[in-house]
Amino acid sequence: MSGKWYWGDTHLHTTGSDGALRLYELIAKAKKNSLDWIIVTDHNFNSIEKSYSSEGLTVIQGQEITVEAGHVNIWGAKVPAEPPYDIPDEKAYADIMEKCRNAGATVCLNHPFCSQCGFRIPIDNLPADCVEVWNTIQHSDNVRNLNWWVNQLKQGRHIAAVGGSDFHRDQVKRVDMMAMPTTVTHAESNTPEAILKALREGRSVITCKPETSMIYLSVDGALPGDTVPLSASLKGSCKATKLLPGFELKIFNNDSMVYSHKAKFFEKVHTAEFSITQPGFVRAEIDVKLASPVKKIFGAAESKYLAPRCETPPETADELFWAFTNPVWIEE
């Protein structure tokens, strides 16, 4: 497939809702982050009337439907309803999501297992194109999002993973929280339509920041989002960049790990070759294990920041992901 990789952020707030930056300040920050595209998703409000381009940066119209039942991003078209939204249950959510899709929008389940504002309704049957597996600075809730998503893939559901920084302001001193994480899409061009199509079709890789690791996964020339037929000698290859000591690259064919490599020192590029034997999917992930002192500090931070609004503080994960790809689908 022709096309190029474009670096972006699917989930950003401005003063149009509860963000700290005005739209022009957000755009300046996105350019400083060398992003190719951003989606502005204020709570229950469209801060921009229409998607547009500004000196190479594509600014896509969006809105985050924000109700007690859960949060959903609506990209590329307006919500065909006026807030305050009355979305008390699963049926009402499915209904409005379907209406948005019929209006041409791309629809994403946001931070589904967030301990503070995750979904309060069942989500398995909601008509979503995408799911935000990685929301904001990495933490244990995202591991639960990933587990749910992988389970959906195993059932054969083509639901695309994305990352979104959910940027409101730089809360952590000296840390630029925009594009943390970054969603890197393989699209035909950097138009709003092409970027949204690539997001829907799972032609993306999610990574911690624009300048960190990238994973280039391919199976017989096919990229994430593509489908290839299974054959007796089907081979895949993967190039993972900027592995820090301790980072582990893992490649899965469904449940089976078909390749793994733990970096002992900094590796600018690590190349992997592997065989595929099962119909289903192939995906790659870079993980970081939390050594027990780090886990302790991390756990303390999580119980401070995540616990106040939920009954049981989430259990801190032993391992967090640093980057991951959407799947290449393997057809029988």
Backbone phi and psi for residue 182, each to the nearest 5 degrees, phi listed first: -110, 140
Site for Zn ion in 29-68 (CB under 5 A): 64
Among 42, 129, 141, 166, binds Zn ion (CB under 5 A): 166
Closest separation in Å from C-beta 244 to Zn ion: 29
Piece of the chain touching Zn ion by CB under 5 A; list 77-85, 87-95, 105-113, 290-298 = 105-113
Closest separation in Å from C-beta 146 to Zn ion: 18
Single-letter amino acid, residue 143: V
CA 276 to each of CA 45, 174, 205, 253, 328: distance values in angstroms, whole numbers, following the listed order: 45, 43, 20, 7, 11
CA distance 141 to 144: 5
Residue (136 or 213) nearer to Zn ion, CB? 136
88 Cβ contact partners less than 8 Å away, ≥ 6 residues apart: 69
- Report if residue 109 touches Zn ion, rule: CB under 5 A: no
Closest separation in Å from C-beta 209 to Zn ion: 19
Q: Is the distance from CB of 61 to CB of 76 less than 8 angstroms? A: yes
134 HSE (CA, 13 A, CB side): 29
Output the residue with the shortest Cβ distance to Zn ion.
Answer: 71
Piece of the chain touching Zn ion by CB under 5 A; list 102-110, 194-202, 208-216, 302-310 = 102-110
Closest separation in Å from C-beta 120 to Zn ion: 13
Q: Is the distance from CB of 245 to CB of 42 less than 8 angstroms? A: no
Closest separation in Å from C-beta 169 to Zn ion: 12
Among 71, 139, 186, 250, binds Zn ion (CB under 5 A): 71
| Binding residues vs Zn ion (CB under 5 A) | 64, 71, 110, 166
